[in-house]
């Protein structure tokens, strides 16, 4: 559990008494640290230099590490008063993190200032992932700490402080973890980071393009949320301070004290007479219901505030993401090189410990460790061994560069319409981009079901038919892409029966914008778009058939039972009939309700039965009116059940005495609960069908 530093281990081996003393010291230091007896730890740091270097946990943490991790800022500052500057250079745990790493990750600015003031060379220390304290501050979104540490290296042109071993820059990680405000600040400070790529060849613009939820066009919002989103402010910094409730006084009350006192008296009298409608012994019951009502109002208010705050955070995220996107697109040079004929791209070496640099091909295999100025002479033997491992791996890297997706293609694939529009506005030449399979921005938007991107491209490039008639390396056209179903994504309405309808809508929409010769064009496998549609949707079709078969049979049985009961009820007239055949209870309101409800129940149940039988007869034909039939079938079925219950309840009133009717009302309410439960249970399916019918174009949702 307890490890000693190399500097003290040799001395203890020579002197067993010293070894025993130091072991006791370390054990005592461990116990005091774990139990929070920080005063004893401070004394140990003050009286014994070995205590400052002691690793007291299995992860190699010192007491200073633990104080920083536990947010014991005051204790950590006291410990730093006694730590020697040279000790800070060697104070790293198993992960390679120094106390400065931990303080930067936690955003503790005070501790960072203290450590840097004692030894600036610790600033360049790297952990096993090649991360500096500056990098960890960006990784965890600690903007204040990042800006403080950046002041020490803002004049350094090398990127070694801003990258880790896999080539990610601080801009990469800030965007990856959606710290867009910090990312915007980083671009302002170092715009050259926009074109930096990691080992996977991904630039910060690629990372942002792969985050569709950071943009409004790809965010799912309900009706209420959309209204709130449109009117809510995006930045609280731009709004005025909220008005102090204590300062909200009515000037008319201050200027007219008599009017104010009269209003108070009337309000008090109103409260006293409020319960006069109830007997005096009902006062406690009324008070109880008032408390329940107030509690419900409080809960509702909290829920609304939470919802508004959530939408506000989402809009702030979208605004900052768009700002970052605009800034990066304006700063990038990748498309500018293409517009000017291009130039030889520079390769980047991903040295985990000396920082990636732009170097030439012939410079790749040597000169990877050169000394920096004041801050770069922090090195250890373990660092040099790991440098050699990285160097050996560099020699085995393939020289052939793999073709990757451009940010525009990634944005089209992920459905980020804002980025597609911005890139094409700034760099029209980007429309010629294609992936290794020969798919351009149009094919990727269609293949991945992004109507908003496709509609934008259709409106923007309506006079460029060659863009929409692009064929990939497998001979697939845009219509083949619309027909192909991958199964790793879904529309926003996930039910298979509705999803099938959405697929048909999408296919027909793309088909309407293509020339007729595309309808029968075959790919390299010899298949037309229609054949591709049938083949790739086979499993979905089977799911639809099974679901439709079950639901239609069940609903048909229920509709038939309701129709039979409604017919029998209509034939049995409550109260009998007079000799001339006129109902005895004719003219009474309850009897009129009974007769009307019976007719509605019978007609709606028969209509529902017809709809479901027609679905059973044509369940293998997916016409565009398929969800409409299902929607009307469910609607008429619910109406028939509700009408049947109304018919029963109105007829039952004639056979009850006046004294039993109050009890019957409670039973009637209880009888309606199953119907309400059934309606709520099927409400989601009902709304899905309604949305599928009303939406002109389907909406995509990432799985």
Q: What is the pLDDT of residue 155?
A: 83
CA–CA separation, 304 and 317 (whole Å): 20
**462 burial via Cβ count (<10 Å: 0-12, 13-18, 19+):** exposed
| pLDDT tens, position by position, 165-181 | 999 999 999 999 999 99
Q: How confident is the model at residue 585 (pLDDT cuts 50, 70, 90)?
A: low
CA–CA separation, 186 and 181 (whole Å): 9
pLDDT exceeds 90 at position 366: no
pTM for the full predicted model: 0.74
Q: What is the pLDDT of residue 43?
A: 92
Q: What does the DSSP assignment read for 307-334? A: HHHHHHHHHHHHHHHHHHHHHHHHH--H
Higher pLDDT, 201 or 289: 201
CA–CA separation, 578 and 580 (whole Å): 5
Q: What average pLDDT does the segment 378-387 reach? A: 43
Q: What average pLDDT does the segment 612-631 reach? A: 74
Q: What is the pLDDT of residue 688?
A: 77
Share of the chain above pLDDT 70, in %: 72
Q: How confident is the model at residue 252 (pLDDT cuts 50, 70, 90)?
A: very low
CA–CA separation, 552 and 110 (whole Å): 69
Least confident range from 328-332, 334-338, 567-571: namely 334-338
| pLDDT tens, position by position, 659-677 | 666 677 777 778 788 888 8
Q: What is the pLDDT of residue 284?
A: 61
Q: What is the pLDDT of residue 312?
A: 85
Share of the chain above pLDDT 90, in %: 41
CA–CA separation, 369 and 492 (whole Å): 53
pLDDT exceeds 50 at position 348: no
Higher pLDDT, 626 or 143: 143
CA–CA separation, 82 and 100 (whole Å): 16
Q: What is the pLDDT of residue 474?
A: 94
Q: What is the pLDDT of residue 522?
A: 94
Higher pLDDT, 697 or 361: 697
Parse the chain into domains and list their residue ranges: 19-165, 188-231+287-338+404-430, 539-694
CA–CA separation, 113 and 121 (whole Å): 13
Q: What is the pLDDT of residue 397?
A: 39
Q: What is the pLDDT of residue 538?
A: 87
Q: What average pLDDT does the segment 510-517 reach? A: 88
Higher pLDDT, 248 or 58: 58
Q: How confident is the model at residue 657 (pLDDT cuts 50, 70, 90)?
A: low
CA–CA separation, 73 and 78 (whole Å): 9
pLDDT exceeds 70 at position 442: yes
Q: What residues form DSSP beta bridges with 359? A: 347
**108 burial via Cβ count (<10 Å: 0-12, 13-18, 19+):** buried
Q: What average pLDDT does the segment 597-621 reach? A: 85
pLDDT exceeds 50 at position 497: yes
Classify the C-alpha dihedral 667-671-674-677 as positive or negative: negative
Return the HEC string of 661-700. Answer: HHHHHHHHHHHHHHHHHHHHHCHHHHHHHHHHHHCCCCCE
The region that residue 71 occupies, defined by phi over 0 for left and psi between -120 and 50 for alpha, beta otherwise, is left
Q: What is the chain's mean pLDDT, rounded?
A: 78
Maximum pairwise Cα distance, the chain = 126
Q: How confident is the model at residue 484 (pLDDT cuts 50, 70, 90)?
A: very high
Locate tokens 């006293």: which residue?
Answer: 272
Q: What is the pLDDT of residue 347?
A: 37
Q: What is the pLDDT of residue 10?
A: 44
Higher pLDDT, 478 or 358: 478
Q: What is the pLDDT of residue 263?
A: 43
- Nearest C-alpha neighbor of 547 from the set 481, 630, 476, 478: 630
Q: Are strands 347-349 and 357-359 parallel, antiparallel or unpaired?
A: antiparallel
Higher pLDDT, 296 or 104: 104
Least confident range from 34-38, 236-240, 562-566: namely 236-240
Q: Break the chain down into helix, strand, coil percent, rounded to 5.
A: 65, 0, 30
Q: What is the pLDDT of residue 286?
A: 63
Q: How confident is the model at residue 126 (pLDDT cuts 50, 70, 90)?
A: very high
CA–CA separation, 66 and 99 (whole Å): 9
If you classify domain 19-165 with CATH, what class do you get? mainly alpha
Q: What is the pLDDT of residue 491?
A: 53
pLDDT exceeds 90 at position 194: yes
- Are 195 and 329 in contact, with CB atoms under 8 Å apart? no
| pLDDT tens, position by position, 445-473 | 999 999 999 999 999 998 888 999 999 99
Q: What average pLDDT does the segment 218-244 reach? A: 61
**45 burial via Cβ count (<10 Å: 0-12, 13-18, 19+):** buried
Q: What does the DSSP assignment read for 149-160? A: HHTTTTT----T
Q: What is the pLDDT of residue 297?
A: 66
Nearest-5° Cα angle at 438, 432 to 444: 80
CA–CA separation, 364 and 351 (whole Å): 11
Q: What is the pLDDT of residue 279?
A: 53
Q: What average pLDDT does the segment 117-145 reach? A: 93
Higher pLDDT, 661 or 420: 420
- Nearest C-alpha neighbor of 440 from the set 482, 399, 405, 397: 405
Q: What is the pLDDT of residue 292?
A: 77
Q: What average pLDDT does the segment 82-89 reach? A: 90
Q: Hey, what are 11's tokens? A: 């001395």
Higher pLDDT, 688 or 411: 411
């Amino acid at each position: 559990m307890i490890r000693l530093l190399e500097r003290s281990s040799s001395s203890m081996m020579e002197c067993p008494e010293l070894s025993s003393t130091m072991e006791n010291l370390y054990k005592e230091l461990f116990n005091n640290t774990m139990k929070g007896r920080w005063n004893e730890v401070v004394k140990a740091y003050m009286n014994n230099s070995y205590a400052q270097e002691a690793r007291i946990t299995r992860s190699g943490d010192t007491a200073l590490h633990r104080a920083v991790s536990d947010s014991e800022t005051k204790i950590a500052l006291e410990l730093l008063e006694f730590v020697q500057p040279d000790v800070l250079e060697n104070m790293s745990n198993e992960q390679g993190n120094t106390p400065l790493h931990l303080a930067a990750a936690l955003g503790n600015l005070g501790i960072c200032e203290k450590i840097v003031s004692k030894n600036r060379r610790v600033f360049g220390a790297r952990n096993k992932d090649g991360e500096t304290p500056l990098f960890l501050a960006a990784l965890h979104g600690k903007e204040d700490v990042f800006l403080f540490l950046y002041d020490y290296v803002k004049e350094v042109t090398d990127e070694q402080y801003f990258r880790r071993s896999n080539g990610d820059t601080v801009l990469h990680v800030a965007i990856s973890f959606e710290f867009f405000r910090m990312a915007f600040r980083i671009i302002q400070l170092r715009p050259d980071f926009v074109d930096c790529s990691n080992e996977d060849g991904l630039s910060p613009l690629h990372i942002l393009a792969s985050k569709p939820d950071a943009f409004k066009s790809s965010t799912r919002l309900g009706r209420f949320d959309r209204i709130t989103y449109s009117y809510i402010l995006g930045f609280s910094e731009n709004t005025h301070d909220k008005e102090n409730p204590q300062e909200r006084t009515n000037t008319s009350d201050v200027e007219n004290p008599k009017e104010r006192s009269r209003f108070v008296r009337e309000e008090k009298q109103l409260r006293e007479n409020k319960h006069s409608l109830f007997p005096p012994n009902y006062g406690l019951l009324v008070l109880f219901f008032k408390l329940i009502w107030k509690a419900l109002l409080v809960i509702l208010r909290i829920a609304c505030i939470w919802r508004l705050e959530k939408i506000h955070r989402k809009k702030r995220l979208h605004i900052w993401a768009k700002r970052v996107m605009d800034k990066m697109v304006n700063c990038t040079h990748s498309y500018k090189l293409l517009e000017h004929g291009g130039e030889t791209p520079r390769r980047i070496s991903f040295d985990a410990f000396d920082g990636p640099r732009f170097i030439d091909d012939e410079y790749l295999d040597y000169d990877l460790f050169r000394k920096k100025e004041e801050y770069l002479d922090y090195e250890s033997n373990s660092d040099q061994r790991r440098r050699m491992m990285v160097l050996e791996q560099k020699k085995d890297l393939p020289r052939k560069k793999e073709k990757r997706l451009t940010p525009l293609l990634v944005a089209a694939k992920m459905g980020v319409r804002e980025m597609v529009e911005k890139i094409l506005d700034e760099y029209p030449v980007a429309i010629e981009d294609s992936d290794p399979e020969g798919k351009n921005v149009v094919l990727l938007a269609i293949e991945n079901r992004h109507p908003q991107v496709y509609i934008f491209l259709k409106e923007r490039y309506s006079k460029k038919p060659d863009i929409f008639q692009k064929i990939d390396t497998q001979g697939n056209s845009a219509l083949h892409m619309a027909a192909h179903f991958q199964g790793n994504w879904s529309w926003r309405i996930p039910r298979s029966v509705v999803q099938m309808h959405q697929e048909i809508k999408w296919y027909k929409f793309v088909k309407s914008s293509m020339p007729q010769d595309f309808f029968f064009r075959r790919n390299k496998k010899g298949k037309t778009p229609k054949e591709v549609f049938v083949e790739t949707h086979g499993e979905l079709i089977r799911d639809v058939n099974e679901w439709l078969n079950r639901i239609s049979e069940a609903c048909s049985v229920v509709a038939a039972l309701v129709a039979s009961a409604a017919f029998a009820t209509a034939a049995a007239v409550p109260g009998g009939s007079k000799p001339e055949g006129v109902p005895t209870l004719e003219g009474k309101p309850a009897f009129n309700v009974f007769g009307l409800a019976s007719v509605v129940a019978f007609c709606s149940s028969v209509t529902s039965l017809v709809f479901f039988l027609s679905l059973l007869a044509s369940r293998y034909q997916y016409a565009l009116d398929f969800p409409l039939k299902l929607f009307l079938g469910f609607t008429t079925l619910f109406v028939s059940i509700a009408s049947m219950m109304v018919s029963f309840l109105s007829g039952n009133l004639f056979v009850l005495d006046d004294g039993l009717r109050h009890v019957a009302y409670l039973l009637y309410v209880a009888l309606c609960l199953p119907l309400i439960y059934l309606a709520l249970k099927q409400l989601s399916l009902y709304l899905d069908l309604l949305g599928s019918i009303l939406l002109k174009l389907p909406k995509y949702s990432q799985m």
